[in-house]
Structure 1
Amino acid sequence: MKALLLAGGTGSRLRPFTHTGAKQLLPIANRPVLFYALEALAAAGVTETGVVVGDHEREIRRAAGDGSAFGLRLTYLHQDRPLGLAHAVRIARDFLGDDDFLLYLGDTYLPEGVTGFLDRARAQPVDARLLLTRVADPTAFGVAEVAAGGDGTAAGSTVLRLEEKPEHPRSDLALVGVYAFTPAVHEAVRAIAPSARGELEITHAVQWMIDHGLTVRAETTAATWRDTGSVEDMLEANRHVLDTLVGGIEGKVDAGSTVRGRVLLAEGAVVRGSHITGPAIIGAGTVVTGSSIGPYTAVAEDCRIEDSAIAHSVLLRGARIEGAPLIQDSLIGRGASVLATPRLSRSHRLVIGDHSEVHLTS
């Protein structure tokens, strides 16, 4: 079975970060979101993978290479504009040929991977198999209505109807962003018209399959899942990965510092007169001085943190924090600076784009 991994979206909900970089390369615990998907495909026994890319093609190619580092063979497929998931399937027609394939959104974080899902798709192939999860607000997702009495086994539940971001959802079952298809889907994506937002929706293609008597099944997962399309989802995915962190001190920690809990300090990182409480990860070349790094914080490479306190946050490469009394629940971009100015407040929540500069109270 082949895979089609989508990495061409614009990431509008993650601006300004995605003005200067691909959303699929934003880090969770100092590793790009895309890498978790690539590793999941390899673990499931997939080798041939098409990667649909857009404006950030060069950046994604540079990060993922030919796929050999993940045990994959990657073929890059350029999409001029992000015109919907079904459009991505359409432009990948020659690559996919007449093979069954897995469709996987490259910004989906699914820690359980896709091995079980793919094993069931291989063992009991149907025209389309969908992965669902229950959500509190279905209006923000593609939503599935399934037949009553699904037994939860490999056969799954029969899908009756799909809707894209419905105003009045028929269920709380949202599409996770993982699908298994036979070549029957190609006729569906050719048959549908663009939606009101000008995109070829995969939900419309699957609904076309249902309407034309093809077999569409779904299974539901209760595992942690994030589409990492927003700052909040990025922070929660980061928190989940750090909960599984295996600590290790490879960098330098001076006698005036304390490190508690599971902390991964990369070789070349330096901690002076500071307190680090895990789970936390600190990248190579980062220097922490006179500061407190709290739980669920991921600090990338070559950052500088001085006389500051940070918790439950993500700092991208080259970020600089000086004199910040408390930063939490924040995502700070590449090369961004957060600097102290006269005191007005003691707590700050920041969403700062790449190469920005913010002056805080001290």
Structure 2
Amino acid sequence: MKALVLAGGTGSRLRPFTHTRAKQLLPLANRPVIHYALRAIADAGIDEVGMVVGSHADDLRRSVGDGSAFGLGVTHLRQAKPLGLAHAVLIARDFLADDDFLLYLGDTYLPDGVTSFVRRADQGADAARLLLTPVADPTAFGVAELDAGGRVRGLEEKPDRPRSDLALIGVYAFTPVVHEAVRAIRPSGRGELEITHAVQWMIDQGLTVRGETTTRPWRDTGSVEDLLEANRHVLDRMEGSVEGKVDPRSVLVGRVRIEEGAVVRGSRIVGPVVVGAGAVISNASVGPYTAVGEDCRIEDSAIAFSVLLRGACVEGAARIEGSLIGREAVVTAAPRLPGAHRLVIGDHSKVQLTS
């Protein structure tokens, strides 16, 4: 079995960050989201990966390389425009050949990986297998309806009146018959070749498509809120360690990882927190659930439940929470304005104001 990882797309819900980088390169605990996907694929025993990339192809290539750091061989496949998940399968035809494959959206975070899903897909005789999870609001997702035996009866994309609460997570297993399906479908109303339409075509042809339901945590990290929540999940699993410098006036509480080259002075850090190499934290309160990227600077500030990307600077901020602060961004206290007086004064009045 091969894997096809999708890392194109515009990431519109994460703008302005995605104007300058792929959303799959935004960090969870200071590691790009896509690295977690690649490690999950390697752990599942797959070693050949095609990665579909778009306008940020060069950045992804620098981050992932040839995949050897993950024990994988990665082939980069350029998608000129984000024309849908099924279109990504279409352009990967030569790479995939006639092998079964795992389709994995590169911004999906699954803390427990895909090993068991891949094993069951590999042992089964189904044309396709979908990973599903119950959600509170199915109208925001692709939704699958299953019969009593777990066979998929039908799919809907963001339905107004969902027939089930089982959402597509973004992980699929396909046999080569999917190539016929993606050639058979036509673009949707938004001009994309939808993978849900390809799967529905397979169902309509009488092929077996099976749904596997999980209640394990997952995030698609496609919005700031989801990215911050996924960051919390990763930090919850992190072990603490101190490889940088922490002065005697500082206090570390709980699981705190201070990476080599980081400096903490006169500060209180409440874990789980990771502080990247080259970061300097001075006279500050940090955490919990905060990831401080490489070469960041936090001074005379308090920050919690947040992610700071490489080189960000926060100075003189009384309290910051639930924030995503971009690369080289600078946050400082506003200058204190002088007190003001509001006057409604009648004719011929005389008023004296203290300075």
| 1:95 alignment partner, SS class | helix
Equivalent position to 1:198, from 178, 191, 202:
191
Describe the superposition over 1:105-163 as per-residue Cα deviations: whole angstroms up to 9, x where unpaired: 0000001101000000111131000000011111111100111x23xxxxxx1000001
Opposite residue 231 of structure 2, the aligned amino acid is N
Q: What's the counterpart of residue 348 of structure 2?
A: none
Partner of 2:277: 284
Q: Distance in 2 between matches of 1:189 and 1:22?
A: 25
Aligned to 1:301: 294
Alignment partner, residue 54 of structure 1: 54
Q: Structure 1: state its 5+ residue gaps.
A: 151-156, 345-362
C-alpha displacement of 1:342? 3.9
What amino acid is aligned across from residue 296 of structure 1 in structure 2?
Answer: Y
Percent identity between the two aligned chains? 72
Aligned counterpart, 2:168 = 175
In structure 2, how many angstroms separate the alpha carbons of the residues matched to 1:279 and 1:226? 19
TM superposition score normalised by structure 1: 0.92
Match of 1:9 in 2: 9
Partner of 1:126: 126
Give secondary structure in 2 for the equivalent of 1:341.
coil
Structure with max Cα Rg: 2
2:350 corresponds to:
none
1:6-155 equivalences under 5 Å are: 6-147=6-147, 149-150=148-149
Q: Give the corresponding residue for 1:154.
A: none
Distance 1:107 1:56 in 2: 14
Matched, 1:325 2:318: yes
Show the counterpart of 1:217: 210
Question: SS where residue 151 of structure 2 aligns?
Answer: strand
Distance in 1 (CA, whole Å) between partners of 2:335 and 2:161 is 49
Q: Distance in 2 between matches of 1:340 and 1:130?
A: 49
Map 1:225-304 → 2, pairs under 5 A: 225-304=218-297
TM-score, normalised with respect to structure 2: 0.94
**Other-structure match for 1:354:** none
Q: Distance in 2 between matches of 1:274 and 1:188?
A: 58
Q: Following TM superposition, where does structure 1 have runs of at least 4 consecutive aligned residues deviating by more than 4 angstroms?
A: none
Q: Distance in 1 between matches of 2:107 and 2:268?
A: 33
| Residues 1:341 and 2:334 are matched in the alignment | yes
Amino acid at match of 1:339: T
* Counterpart-to-counterpart distance in 2, 1:252 and 1:65: 32
Return the alpha-carbon distance in structure 2 between the equivalents of residues 113 and 190 of structure 1.
30
1:359 corresponding residue in structure 2 = none
C-alpha separation in 1, matches of 2:274 and 2:12: 27
The answer for the alignment partner of 1:348 in structure 2 is none
- Report what 1:357 is aligned to: none
In the alignment, the residues of structure 2 paired with residue 164 and residue 77 of structure 1 have an alpha-carbon distance, to the nearest angstrom, of: 26
Would the alpha carbon gap of residues 173 and 267 (structure 1) be closer, same or farther in structure 2, given more than 3 Å must change?
A: same
User: Cα offset for 1:343?
Assistant: 5.8
Deviation at 1:259, TM superposition (A): 0.5
Displacement of 1:310 in angstroms is: 0.3
Structure 1 vs Structure 2 CA RMSD: 0.8
Gaps of at least 5 residues in structure 2 are 338-355
Q: Work out the CA distance in 1 between the residues paired with 2:336 and 2:215.
A: 45
Distance 1:49 1:190 in 2: 22
Give the match for residue 316 of structure 1: 309
Counterpart secondary structure, 1:39: helix
